[in-house]
Amino acid sequence: MSPSLAPLGDHAWLATCVDLEAAAAWYHAAHTLRDRPGVTDVVLAYASVAVYYDPTRIDPHALRDELATLEPRPTADVEGRPIEIPTLYDGEDLPEIADRLGYPIDEIIRLHSQPLYRVFALGFVPGFPYCGFLPEALSGLARRAEPRPRVPAGAVAIAGRQTGIYPSSTPGGWHLLGRTPLTIVDPPSAYFPIRPGDRLRFRPIDSATFDRLSGRRLDDHPALG
């Protein structure tokens, strides 16, 4: 089923899809337009895709007509790259999470680091990857009742059925499991290596490895085999 297209302000078209899989498939088709003069960005959310444009460089209505004819590309045909996220599991919420879920801390770490998570969308700050889905045993924790005024860059966290990485220091209400030493965004240099469709796995590391990798960019660390 084709998505419905509607204006999103005067600089974007919003495609609303029937579900997450349909949105991802349409996103991969629309993403081929990223290099088109006048198209400034294509952003995937859970059941929608926003195509941003510069109306001084492209005819918005001609763009809409082209978007309406796009053939979705199934995600199986556009598999994202596997990426390893080294993670020091020392988050301040880890003891509380273990207590609430009824598992030892070592089991919480094992459960979280076992899956290969798919990146479904990016937001709420530039480069924050929304990944899923958590193992059933870790799912269901609501966001914190009182968000922290500052979560450090690199913090690895969970909420609901999702896990993610805070790419920069920002307020946040997810539960902190640990942190990665890698830099996953650098807005001044337009460095945003993680994209929807990529697959992340969190690899437990010790503090010595954290210190050794601290400050490296994600692309300086090998992807999974």
| Nearest alpha carbon to residue 14 among 55, 54, 56, 42 | 42
Distances (CA, A) of 107 to 45, 111, 137, 204, 208: 31, 6, 10, 12, 22
Range(s) of the domain holding residue 46 = 4-76
Task: Tell me, yes or no, whether 129 lies in a domain.
Answer: yes
Band the pLDDT of 1: cuts 50, 70, 90.
low
- Rounded to whole angstroms, the Cα distance separating 114 from 87 reads 12
Mean pLDDT of the chain, nearest integer = 91
Band the pLDDT of 190: cuts 50, 70, 90.
confident
For residues 109 and 73, which has the higher predicted lDDT (pLDDT)? 109
Task: Tell me, yes or no, whether 65 lies in a domain.
Answer: yes
Task: Tell me, yes or no, whether 225 lies in a domain.
Answer: no
Task: Tell me, yes or no, whether 206 lies in a domain.
Answer: yes
CB atoms within 10 A of CB 146: 7
CA angle, corner 127, sides to 124 and 133, nearest 5? 75
Band the pLDDT of 107: cuts 50, 70, 90.
very high
| pTM beyond 0.85, yes or no | no
- Rounded to whole angstroms, the Cα distance separating 51 from 72 reads 15
Q: Are residues 49 and 156 in the same domain?
A: no
Q: Are residues 139 and 157 in the same domain?
A: yes
Q: Are residues 48 and 91 in the same domain?
A: no
Band the pLDDT of 217: cuts 50, 70, 90.
very high
Confidence (pLDDT) at 199: 92
Is the model's pLDDT at 225 over the cut of 50? no
